[in-house]
C-alpha cells in the first residue's frame, strides 16, 4: 500500500457514525472517499467539488451541500504542499475556494498527504481563484508584487472552476509568511480566494510505503 493509501486509511480512524464529513478533492482524497464508503458508516458527506461529489455518489455515500447541514464534524482533504507550521498550499486541482470553505467550517480539519508534499517552507506556484472580469488587472498587481503569473488553461480554453471563475497561478520563490501573503493576495480586487491555508489544521497524516506519522 502506497503513501497516499496509508494516509487515507489512517484518516478513517477519525470518522464515526453520526458525523457530517467534509470530503476533499484530488487523488488522495478520492482514495479516502472510496475507503470511507466501504466502512458502511451512517454519515452525511459534504464534497468540496463536483468531482468529489461524483466519486462519493458512485461509492454509495449520502451527499449534501454545505447549506443543508448544521455542522461539519471533520473534513479530510489532501494538500499540494505542507510546511512545518502546518500551513498548506492547495488548489493545483482547482477546487481551493470550496475546499477552504468546507475545511475551515469543520470542527477538525485532517490533511492527508504522502511524504513528497512536505516542505521546510512553502514555495512556488500559489493558485488564486479569480473573477474572469479581473484577470489582467490581477496579473498586473501580481507583477507589482514581483510575482510571475499565468492563467491556467485546460487544453486551449481557460480552466473554469465549479464556481464559474478562473485560476491564476502566481509564483513565489519562497513564502516566509504564509498568512501575510494570503492577506496581501486576498486584498487584490478580483481575487476571490487564495490557495494558501494558513492555520486551522488539526492533524496532518503523512503516509509512506512503511506506514504513517502524524503532525499536529
48 assigned binding-site residue: no
Which among 30, 99, 141, 193 is annotated as catalytic?
A: 99
C-alpha closest to that of 79 among 209, 212, 207, 213: 207
Q: Is 160 exposed, middle or buried (0-12, 13-18, 19+ CB in 10 A)?
A: middle
The gap from C-alpha 86 to its chain's centroid, in whole angstroms, comes to 13
124 among the known binding-site residues?
A: no
Do the bridges between strand 203-207 and strand 106-114 make them parallel or antiparallel, or are there none, so unpaired?
parallel
- Nearest CA among 18, 95, 111, 9 for reference residue 54: 95
How far is residue 78 CA from its own chain's centroid?
6
- Mark whether 123 is an active-site residue: no
Asked whether residue 78 is marked as a ligand-binding residue, the answer is yes
Q: Is 9 annotated as a binding residue?
A: no
22 assigned ligand-binding residue: no
117 labeled part of a ligand binding site? yes
Residue 26 marked ligand-binding: yes
156 among annotated binding-site residues: no
The answer to the question of whether 25 is labelled as a binding residue is yes
For residue 74, what are the β-bridge partners?
Answer: 21, 108
Contacts (Cβ under 8 Å, ≥6 apart) of 154: 160
- Look-up of cell digits 484577470: 135
**Is 184 marked as a binding-site residue?**
no
Determine how β-strand 72-77 pairs with β-strand 81-82: unpaired
Q: Is 80 annotated as a binding residue?
A: yes
Q: Which residues are catalytic?
A: 99
Binding residues for substrate are: 25-28, 77-80, 90-93, 117
Pick out the residues of the known binding site: 25-28, 77-80, 90-93, 117
Amino acid at each position: 500500500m502506497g503513501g497516499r493509501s496509508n494516509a487515507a486509511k489512517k484518516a478513517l480512524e477519525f470518522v464515526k457514525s453520526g458525523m457530517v464529513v467534509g470530503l476533499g478533492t484530488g487523488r488522495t482524497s478520492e482514495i479516502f472517499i472510496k475507503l470511507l464508503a466501504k466502512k458502511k458508516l451512517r454519515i452525511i458527506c459534504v464534497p468540496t467539488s463536483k468531482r468529489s461529489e461524483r466519486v462519493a455518489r458512485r461509492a454509495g455515500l449520502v451527499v449534501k451541500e454545505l447549506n443543508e447541514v448544521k455542522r461539519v464534524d471533520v473534513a479530510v482533504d489532501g494538500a499540494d504542499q505542507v510546511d512545518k507550521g502546518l500551513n498548506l498550499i492547495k488548489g493545483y486541482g482547482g477546487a481551493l475556494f470550496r475546499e477552504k470553505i468546507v475545511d475551515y467550517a469543520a470542527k477538525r480539519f485532517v490533511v492527508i498527504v504522502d511524504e513528497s508534499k512536505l516542505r521546510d517552507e512553502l514555495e512556488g506556484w500559489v493558485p488564486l481563484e479569480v473573477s474572469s472580469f479581473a484577470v489582467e488587472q490581477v496579473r498586473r498587481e501580481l507583477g507589482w508584487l514581483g510575482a510571475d503569473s499565468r492563467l491556467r488553461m485546460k487544453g486551449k480554453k481557460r480552466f473554469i472552476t465549479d464556481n464559474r471563475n478562473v485560476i491564476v497561478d502566481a509564483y513565489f520563490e519562497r513564502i516566509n509568511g504564509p498568512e501575510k501573503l494570503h492577506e496581501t493576495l486576498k486584498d487584490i480586487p478580483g481575487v476571490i480566494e487564495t490557495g494558501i491555508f494558513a492555520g486551522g489544521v488539526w492533524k496532518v497524516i503523512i503516509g509512506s510505503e512503511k506506514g504513517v506519522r502524524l503532525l499536529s
